[in-house]
Structure 1
Amino acid sequence: MSKKPAKATLTTAMIEEQTAAFLKAGGTVEYVVKGKSGQFASTGTKQINLKANG
């Protein structure tokens, strides 16, 4: 039987270190209000017409 490699665990200290490095490198953090997506939709909604035009 082969053993699965141990899954790396992400600790709070690691997250804090990564966040500090990101901010030190000039990164910024934006606040997104609850209920809003942080993603921007580049196109409108896509609707598919299943009925053939006839």
Structure 2
Amino acid sequence: MVARKPGATEPAKCPVCNGTGEISRTVHVGRKRRVAGEQTGLCLNCLGSGEAPST
């Protein structure tokens, strides 16, 4: 984590993961594509940092 200067504003949160850096996806199994649960993974929008990417 990068040290921030006192009084500096906080970076905006990633809109996809809400600043957590992780997202959950539903896992489907079988030919009928039954729901088997959820799997947590890295947010590809912010690459796990939780900060909104700069444009």
Range class of TM-score, shorter chain: under 0.3
Larger radius of gyration: 1
- Greater percentage in helix: 1
- Identify which of structures 1 and 2 has the higher relative contact order when contacts are C-alpha pairs closer than 8 Å and 6+ apart: 2
Q: TM-score, normalised to structure 1's length?
A: 0.22
- Greater percentage in strand: 2
